[in-house]
Structure 1
Amino acid sequence: MTEIRTPPWGKVTILEEGDRYRINRIEIKPGHHISTQMHYHRSEHWVVVSGTAKVICNDQEKILTARQSTYVPMNTRHRVENPGVIDLVMIEIQNGEFLGDEDIIRFEDRDSA
Structure 2
Amino acid sequence: MSDAIRNPPWGTVTVLEQGSSYRINRIVVNPGHHISTQMHYHRSEHWIVVAGTAKVICGDRETLLTQKQSTYVPMNTRHRIENPGIVPLVMIEVQNGEYLGEDDIIRFEEKD
Provide the TM-score with structure 2 as the length reference: 0.97
1:55 aligns with 2:59: no
1:105 aligns with 2:83: no
Distance (Å, rounded) in 2 between the aligned partners of 1:97 and 1:7: 25
SS at match of 2:103: helix
Runs of 4 or more consecutive aligned structure 1 residues displaced over 6 Å after TM superposition: none
SS at match of 1:80: strand
SS at match of 1:102: helix
CA RMSD of superposed structures (Å): 0.6
* Number of aligned residues: 111
Provide the TM-score with structure 1 as the length reference: 0.97
Distance (Å, rounded) in 1 between the aligned partners of 2:104 and 2:96: 12
Give aligned-pair identity as a percent. Answer: 73
1:5 CA displacement = 0.3
SS at match of 1:2: coil
1:19 CA displacement = 1.2
Extract unaligned runs of 5+ from structure 1. Answer: none
